[in-house]
Amino acid sequence: MNDRTDAVPAEWQQDTQDIGRLIRAVYACISGPAGAPRDWARFRYLQHPRALSLRTVVEADGSTRAAVFDVDSYIADVALFFAGNDFHEVETEQRVERFGQVAHVWSKYEARPTPDSPTVLKRGANSIQLCHEQGRWWVFCTVWDNEREGLRFDLF
């Protein structure tokens, strides 16, 4: 595994010391106005080198499938969307369960065109698995789905 602490901003290092702060930092990395560059360097730093993301895709016929990405393929997948859309993912609730060096975070969110907009583009939940090694927390896996007709998040 690469030691990615050389020339890393102190703020990024602090992000990895606290689970809540780490999750907020991930949201900050992917949020912004249409066309604004996202902080992909910081996003990569927060992710474990072997991190994966899984998004539930709803097909036109209502069936679902999993779209799975490593960090770079996730960035490539969302680049066009972020180029053309205002998108701010705002955490609304969080539940953390920790055992030793692993943690699971349920993070409910709302996507809005601006952080304080009354317009909600979508709601959903991230299931985020973290591991603690080398003196820091890493995002190891993020799995999410959006609320839709017949699907509401009601675990807490």
pLDDT digits (tens, 9 = 90+) for 68-82: 999 999 999 999 999
pTM: 0.92
For residue 38, give every residue at least 6 positions away whose Cβ sits within 8 Å of its Cβ, in sequence order, or none: 29, 30, 31, 32, 75, 82
| 27 has a pLDDT exceeding 60 | yes
Tens of pLDDT, residue by residue over 106-151, are 999 999 999 999 999 999 999 999 999 999 999 999 999 999 988 9
Quick check: 113 and 127 in contact, CB under 8 A? no
